[in-house]
Structure 1
Amino acid sequence: MEVAEVVPEFAEAFPFDEFNEMQREAVPALLESDANVVASAPTGSGKTALAELAICQTLEAGGTALFVAPLRALTNEKEDEWERFEDLGYSVYVVTGERDLNPRRAERADVLVMTPEKADSATRKHDSPRYSFVTDVDCVVIDEVHLLDSEKRGSVLEVVVSRLRRLCDPRVVALSATMPNIEDVADWLDATPETTFEFGDEYRPVDLHAGVRTYTHGDNPFADKYRRLFTALDLAEPHLREDGQSLVFVSSRQDTVQAAKKTRDEIAERDIPVSSRGDYEFHTAAEELDNATLRKSVLDGVAFHHAGLSTHDKNRVEQWFREGKIRVLFSTSTLAWGVNLPARCVVIRDTKLHDPLEGEVDMSPLDVLQMLGRAGRPGYDDVGYGWVVCDTSDADKYRSLLDEGHEIESRLAGNLAEHLNAEIAMGTIRGLGDVMDWLETTFYYRRAQSAPEDYDFPNVRDRVRDTLDHLVEEGFVETDEDLGLSATRLGVLASTYYLRLDTAREFRDVAEGDLDDREILRAVASAGEFDSVSARQSEQDAIQKVLEHSGDEMEDGPRKVYAILRAGMRGAVPTELRSDAWVIKQNALRLLAALGAFFDRYDDPAGANAAARLEARIDTGVPESAVGLTAIDGVAAGRAHKLHEEGISTPEDVRAAGVSGLADAGLSEGVAESVHEQADGLPDVTVDWGDFPDAIPAGDNQMCEVTVENDGGSAKVGVDVTVNGVEMSEETGYLGGDGVTVPVGVFGADADDLTYEVTVTFADLPLLPVTETRTVDVS
């Protein structure tokens, strides 16, 4: 069955000329109907083509397809791969949290690519102009639908699919690695027997021999890594000596590098012939690699691959591995889910990994099976060999996984309250009847029907009703006399910022208090999202050095988070804390943005401004005096530091410097013009005291007016007036070109003088507050 005969208009979109046996069987279901399709097939058997066929059918009908990829790294890969669709005149647009959304491009796109998390975010905002495009989707292709079973991410995928089906009822095409209970997924998605495909191991392009090899666990975790590494090399060595290749999965980016270094020495010691040092052209090409360690390693036939490498280096490693120049490749799990890069021998060296937010966790069964599925090179090997290296105590668990596979379970029950609150906050659930209707659209409900004892099916509805009652009792949801449901201010904020409900309650209490910057940071560090963070013994000295005795009352985990945030504000996170710092900082920035919104919604612009400034400092590492620079579009960490070093520390300084002054400070002329223009669009505030007196007789009083004038862009502000440190008045609102006028009473009192202070705080911007004072003598 030739591609050009089946989809002649899209033949150039496929990287091959003929469909394989598995793809041929699915073609009629994908192209000759609009029915939902569920297909499971062994890793490496060509499932991507099924996704592309579904997309072709949608494009031919003039519709829009949404491809949901399991990892952010894969969304970028699809953007590169699907330039083939772009060449045919179709628009492919990747929507991720890393990029600024272009609503016009998204709306006009023929193929959208998102992760489950980004699809969740977009669908939660479907009724806003920026994200309305998500309700115009005609077909949703779910790549690796067995992600439903992921403890951390499965429930997100589940609610996104249910939500899309209620919002716009698209065709759903769900693809998966082999799973025993595919019928549960098919029932959930209303796929008929004719459009449900369970392709077994006989469709694997290469037979798989999978097994478990144990090692003896010791007291030293570093020594254990080397024990597992030597075991992995023992398993790979026979294949390497027969000109085969080995792919070894380890738990972290750093481990890929360290394992590659040690393996070069060990291979030389064992005299295994894998070096490519005699290949002059390869030697020359290796010099062009960006990563210095990789540059040396590849010449010895050993390399590493992880998401932190440059695109150029990753592409070269993949190319050279396919060509056989690299014989041993160490990688993180990302490679298993993404690039189809098979090897004769695949070894999973690490079954446990360190999660910055969870501590040490077991690798998911999904990851294990996905990795082993990369064993065997079609067209080269008759058999692929896959091995799990684990402690003796875990051996039976992994043998059972390899023998019986892994049933896909719903993970929705673990955070049912958060997802139910989100649906109510969006308005997709407006009454008790809607709650039960929503429940029946979930995989959780369908799986409970299939395994009633495991899910206590008779009580599932009661459990959901109890969850709803809890949301009402805790102030997230309110009801009316007609049993209607709506989200409270607290419920909306919790949904908008993806907060755990206990964190939302804590943030509400914080926003109603009067906290300084350090207390705000402590509140974030103590959030439930960081409950499982642990401080290793090797990190304690670094934490103490950053904090000294600050935060001594905190538990070790939150104190570690607090130390990373404090160090991040200085732009100098200690080496010992860097491995976890990025993930912790990203989560903290989200939580600070949420806390700022709480302050704003609870009418505390000073608190909102403090949160915004802390967020900017943690993100960029700029000093407090220069944090206002980060409010200028186009000024991130590098430019902010450069300008600050040249004595330009505020938007006012930028305006005063002019384009020429910014160019003198090291900015190119084009950038200088843009930065200056953006600074002009920020508020430029002065305080006009009007007829404010210099003196007042004791016992007299005078009503005056103070005007906050603004010669720049508008902003949401709080204007606070105090006299001798005692608050007199406070106003919040938008400050435009007309300014804000505040009545101020001047009363002759017992004091010798009265010091009036007007403070203008910017609720939504990381600008330092503007403060001016006036002293009145009392005679």
Structure 2
Amino acid sequence: METPLSTRPPPSDVSPSADGEPAVAVADVLPEFADAFPFEEFNRMQSETLPALLNRDDNVVVSAPTASGKTALAEIAICKTLQAGGTALFLAPLRALTNEKESEWERFEDLGYSVYVVTGERDLNPRRAERADVLVMTPEKADSATRKHDSRRYGFITDVDCCIIDEVHLLDSDRRGSVLEVTISRLRRLCDPRVVALSATMENVDDVAAWLDAPDATTFQFGDDYRPVPLNADVKTYSHGENAFADKYRRLYRALDLAEPHIREEGQALVFVSSRQDTVQAAKKARDEIVERDVPMGARGEYDFHTEAAELDNDTLRQSVLDGVGFHHAGLSREDKDRVEEWFKRGLIQLLFSTSTLAWGVNLPARCVVIRDTKLHDPLEGEVDMSPLDVLQMLGRAGRPGYDDMGYAWIVCDRADADKYRTLLREGKEIESRLADDLDAHLNAEIALGTLGDIEDVMDWLETTFYYRRAQRAPERYTAGTDLRERVSDTLGDLVADGFVEMDDLSVEGTPLGRLASKFYLRLATARRFKDCADRAATDPDGFDEDAILSTVAGATEFDSVSARSDEEDAVAAVIGSRGEELTAGQRKVLAILRSSMSGTTPSELQSDAWVIKQNALRMLAALRAFLDRFAGARGANLARRVEARVENGVSADAAGLTAIDGVGPGRARTLAAEGFRTPADVVDAGVAGLVAAGLSESVAERVRDNATDLPNVVVEWGEFPDQIAAGERELHEVTVRSVAGSARAGIRVTVNGHEMTTKPSYLGQATVPVAAFGGDADELTFAIEVTFPELPIPPVRESRTVSVER
């Protein structure tokens, strides 16, 4: 930005070109991979790093300006790994970018190498992952894989020979930084791959290098003079009003004032706003304002472009792009996003509104970049400041190589924030560790995984973290006078006291509570809350209901920062009434969203935050189900699973069990439930003809019937169980419980006159349970067998026999 970063001298074994800049032909150093690069010659920055990447095996750290060509450094590291017959792992900062790399790196596929993307939105193919030459993952998915490294599905992660971290300054991200940090530390303990860390904005590159044990010869900090286009960045303020909605338009007009001169000169402007909806609304308003200002732009007269635009999926976008104004966000179809990016590169779109995702993604520079919104609404956190890392990343998109002599970037903010952003532009941002924010959860996870077995391991692990390195460099920020080892020791003591870890002499081991907290990525306070809920369910199973489940999840600490706006309060009250009175206003909002999601009727006032809250709540419900299964038994877990199915699908209690059938979504479940179907067994019994009569087509009915046969269909065989028994007598009988269709894990509960006699976990298949018939004081004894499936939303199966007592 305004203060250029210091630049290390180029390695001595790179020869400068005639104009004094190092330049190396791709074919000269990587002849067998020349076709993997979209250019013939490495630029100055890339050429200076070649000896470190190709001629050494040390870890490498590179900080270089946006658009200077860091992606090629990743590809060079991949090529060296493939030459040696190894496996490369590329960690992308966003899930959207993993798909992008899959498309880009078809070039490696064309050379005979396999590229495989592993994300949470795709079913993992372990065989493909194991055979892949290049793996692409997000830090979160890599965290999950390394936690499960000893399983057959994720064993491939320990075969990684080189790990490339794209945008390593993500370490400083509030939510995601600690995940990246512990994942890299864990990966290095598991298989010690070569690490190549790349960053666009990193002032303290030496701290990252020290963490990764990268020597000076393989650590690079390229300054702004390596930017392909110089950058002029500044802060502009606006007059803040009392109405947040009106303020958005004040900032929009300010942004247009800044962009207009460049658009009039046939330049392009990229304006970043805070949300997907804002990209659409800002584009609509900007179109009207541009007409009002008589700014010449748009391509309505170009027939070919008009034809291409007609193919867009988004109606609003179709109208907008013809006037030279577009918008881009993660909610658009892949095809629409690709078209917008292509048209912007071709200059057909001159003004583009986007969320911050675009700054981390494709290389889509513009002469002018404006950040309209420095604050954003987070459904889980309320109004928050945009990350300084995001701000710098967005500003770095200004300036088109080969087109512009200068890039122009502005932050539009309230006067009260102006000095903060001017300081950011002047001094940059040091990368800090975020591990201290949730040290207890991460330490618990390492112990639960078994990677730390004793106190010495714990302290060794501490020294592998970026947290430890930063604390050594800036102790006043990290330790506050307390020795870091002492702090970790105290954290370990708290984990033991709270029941997450067991300690025997100097050895440490995770408890069932600690392992569940780690498995589901829970904050430890939430894990304790879920354990308390399970204890209540075990103590009073008949009094445990769906209200208890929903209130427990809504009150999770993960939802502590959810805010309820004034215009939402009436909607919340209308949904939940007096329920959840012990919860905060924000948690009651979560409860209302969950309650309304169960029926598919979320009030419009709550819909803007509902999707994010619902997705997080589904993870919490799955976790609570596991806690109930472990500490309270199958009955409570099954109830939680049915609640989870209703929240996810928006169906009635009667329809929840039908969603267990593959191919039965919310619509079909409602259709079948309306005709009296409740379970997969009902579907099998009805046959194809019955399903067709219920409204399904014959082909669908056949598929649904076949899939239903994969699920349990319980039959209880009482055998010689008596109809009567003499007073004072006692007979022991065996009752057989079996599934005549698919198998599943089950809990079998036996009661007499409502009092529990026995419970038995089983896997149906088939099981026998002993049932004692005895002539007691009552005139009749009602024996009931209840079968519940903790992992399926199928309602419990109950069968009973009544025995009269003769006196």
Closer, same or farther in 2 for the Cα pair 1:502/1:153, shift >3 Å?
Answer: same
| Amino acid aligned to 1:536 | R
Matched ranges for 1:149-160 at <5 A: 149-160=172-183
1:726 equivalent in alignment to 2:749:
no
Report deviation, 1:664: 7.2
Mean CA deviation greater in 364-373 or 663-672: 663-672
Q: How does 1:734-745 map to 2 (within 5 A)?
A: 734-736=763-765, 739-745=766-772
2:782 is aligned to 755
Alpha-carbon separation, structure 1, partners of 2:138 and 2:57: 24
Question: Residues 581-600 of structure 1: matches in 2 within 5 Å?
Answer: 581-600=610-629
Q: 1:455 to 1:708 in 2, by over 3 A?
A: same
Q: In the alignment, is residue 370 of structure 1 matched against residue 399 of structure 2? A: no
**Matching residue of 1:777:** 804
Counterpart residue identity of residue 765, structure 1: L
Q: In the alignment, which residue of structure 1 is the partner of 2:332?
A: 309
Other-structure match for 2:135 = 112
**Hey, what's the Cα distance between the residues in 2 that align with 1:140 and 1:320?**
34
Give the alignment partner of residue 495 of structure 2, picking from 468, 471, 484.
471
**Which deviates more from structure 2 when the two are superposed, residues 331-340 or residues 537-546?**
537-546
Whole-Å Cα distance in 2 between the matches of residues 52 and 640 of structure 1? 48
- Say which is worse superposed, 116-125 or 758-767, in terms of deviation: 758-767
> Hey, what does 1:460 align to over in structure 2?
484
> What secondary structure does 1:259 align onto?
helix
CA contact (8 A) 1:126 1:133 kept: yes
Aligned twin of 1:87: 110
Q: Which residue of 2 aligns with 1:530?
A: 559
Q: What's the counterpart of residue 528 of structure 2?
A: 505
Deviations 1:644-668 (A, max 9, x none): 4666542113323445665776767
- Counterpart in 1 of 2:190? 167
- Answer with 562-571 or 313-322: which moved more: 562-571
Q: Distance in 1 between matches of 2:403 and 2:102?
A: 29
Q: How far apart are the structure 2 equivalents of 1:372 and 1:401?
A: 11
Between the two proteins, the alignment pairs up a number of residues equal to: 776
Structure 2 residue aligned with 1:403, among 410, 422, 426? 426
Q: Give 2:492's aligned amino acid.
A: L
Rounded to whole Å, the distance in 2 between the matches of 1:158 and 1:371 is 23
Give secondary structure in 2 for the equivalent of 1:704. strand
In structure 1, C-alpha distance between the alignment counterparts of 2:642 and 2:32, rounded to whole Å:
53
1:135 maps to a residue whose letter is T
Partner SS, residue 135 of structure 2? strand
If the length of structure 2 is used for normalisation, what is the TM-score? 0.93
Q: Offset of 1:559 from its aligned partner?
A: 0.8
What's the offset of the Cα at 1:681? 2.1
SS at match of 1:751: coil
Aligned residue in 2 for 1:53 = 76
Deviations 1:122-181 (A, max 9, x none): 101111111110000000000000000111111110011111111000000000013211
Residues 1:176 and 2:205 are matched in the alignment: no
Tell me, in whole angstroms, the C-alpha distance in 2 between the residues paired with 1:643 and 1:384.
60
**Contact 2:717–2:737 (8 Å) recurs in 1:** yes
1:639-654 matches, cutoff 5 A = 639-641=668-670, 643-644=672-673, 648-654=677-683
Distance in 1 separating the partners of 2:572 and 2:482: 50
Q: Which runs of 5+ in 1 are unaligned?
A: none
1:564 equivalenced with 2:593 (yes/no): yes
2:510 equivalent among 475, 479, 487: 487
Give the AA of the match of 1:465.
Answer: S
Higher mean C-alpha displacement, 702-711 vs 267-276:
702-711
Equivalence for 1:520: 549
Partners of 1:650 and 1:220 in 2: how far apart? Answer: 52
The alpha carbon displacement at 1:550 in A equals: 2.8
Match of 1:388, SS state, is strand
Counterpart CA distance in 1 for 2:77 and 2:697 is 47
C-alpha separation between the residues in 2 aligned to 1:662 and 1:258? 45
Query: Quick check: 2:67–2:397 contact (8 Å CA) kept in 1?
Result: yes
Counting aligned pairs with the same residue, the percent is: 70
Give distance in 2, aligned partners of 1:667 and 1:61.
Answer: 56
Q: What's 1:21 paired with?
A: 44
Deviates most, 366-375 or 176-185: 176-185
Paired AA for residue 622 in structure 2? A
2: distance between equivalents of 1:62 and 1:701? 72
What is residue 245 of structure 2 aligned with on the other side? 222
Aligned equivalents of 2:584, 2:285: Cα separation in 1: 37
Q: Does 2:412 correspond to 1:383? A: no
1:689-726 residue CA offsets vs partner (Å, 9 max, x unmatched): 22222233444443333221221222221111222222
Contact in 1 for aligned 2:681/2:712 (Cα 8 Å): no
Q: Within 1, Cα distance between the matches of 2:179 and 2:699?
A: 43
Question: For the residues of structure 2 that align with 1:392 and 1:758, how far apart are their CA atoms?
Answer: 70
Match of 1:685? 714
Q: How does 1:324-363 map to 2 (within 5 A)?
A: 324-363=347-386
Counting only pairs closer than 5 Å after superposition, residues 67-82 of structure 1 correspond to structure 2 as: 67-82=90-105
Given that residues 178 and 200 in structure 1 are in contact (C-alpha distance below 8 angstroms), is that contact kept between their aligned partners in structure 2? no
Residue 262 of structure 1 corresponds to which residue in structure 2? 285
Q: Which moved more, 1:85-94 or 1:742-751?
A: 742-751
Q: CA deviation at 1:628?
A: 1.9
* TM-score, length of structure 1 as denominator length: 0.97
Cα distance in 1 for residues equivalent to 2:698 and 2:359:
45
Q: Which amino acid aligns with 1:35?
A: D
- State the distance in 1 between where 2:507 and 2:122 align: 38
Cα–Cα, structure 1 residues 503 and 539, in superposed 2: closer, same or farther, change >3 Å? same
- Residue type of the partner of 1:511? A
Is 1:296 the equivalent of 2:323?
no
**Which amino acid counterpart does residue 762 of structure 2 have in structure 1?**
G
Match of 1:469, SS state, is helix
CA contact (8 A) 1:141 1:174 kept: yes
**Structure 2 contact 201–392 (Cα < 8 Å) conserved:** no
Structure 1 CA distance for aligned equivalents of residues 577 and 243 of structure 2: 29
Query: 1:434–1:351: structure 2 CA closer, same or farther, 3 Å change rule?
Result: same
3-state SS of 1:357 partner: coil
Q: CA deviation at 1:549?
A: 3.1
Letter of the 1:516 partner, please give it.
D
Residue pair 1:247, 1:343 contacting (<8 A) in 2 also: yes
> Partner of 1:709 in structure 2?
738
2:631 is aligned with 1:607:
no
Which range is displaced more, 748-757 or 515-524?
Answer: 748-757
Partner of 2:8: none
CA distance in 1, matches of 2:99, 2:483: 43
CA distance in 1, matches of 2:219, 2:482: 28
Residue type of the alignment partner of 1:480: D
Any idea what the Cα deviations from partners look like across 1:270-325, whole Å, max 9, x if unmatched? 11111221112211211110001111111111111000000010001001111111
Q: Which moved more, 1:132-141 or 1:652-661?
A: 652-661
The CA deviation at 1:382 is: 0.5
Q: Displacement, 1:599?
A: 1.3
Letter in 2 for 1:39: V
Report which stretch shifted further, 566-575 or 236-245.
Answer: 566-575
Deviations 1:716-762 (A, max 9, x none): 211112222222222222222xx222222333344343322221111
Distance 2:696 2:348 in 1: 44
1:430 aligns with 2:453: yes
Q: Which residue of 1 aligns with 2:7?
A: none
Contact 2:26/2:42 (CA < 8 Å) preserved in 1? yes
What do residues 437-495 of structure 1 show as CA deviations (whole Å, max 9, x unaligned)? 111111111111111222237611111111111111111111113x1111111111111
Please say if 1:441 is aligned against 2:464: yes
Q: 2-side partners of 1:665 and 1:55: how far apart?
A: 56
Amino acid at match of 1:26: T
The Cα shift of 1:764 comes to: 1.7
Amino acid at match of 1:167: L
Name the aligned partner's letter for residue 743 of structure 1: P
**For the aligned residues, what is the CA RMSD?**
1.7
Report what 2:793 is aligned to.
766
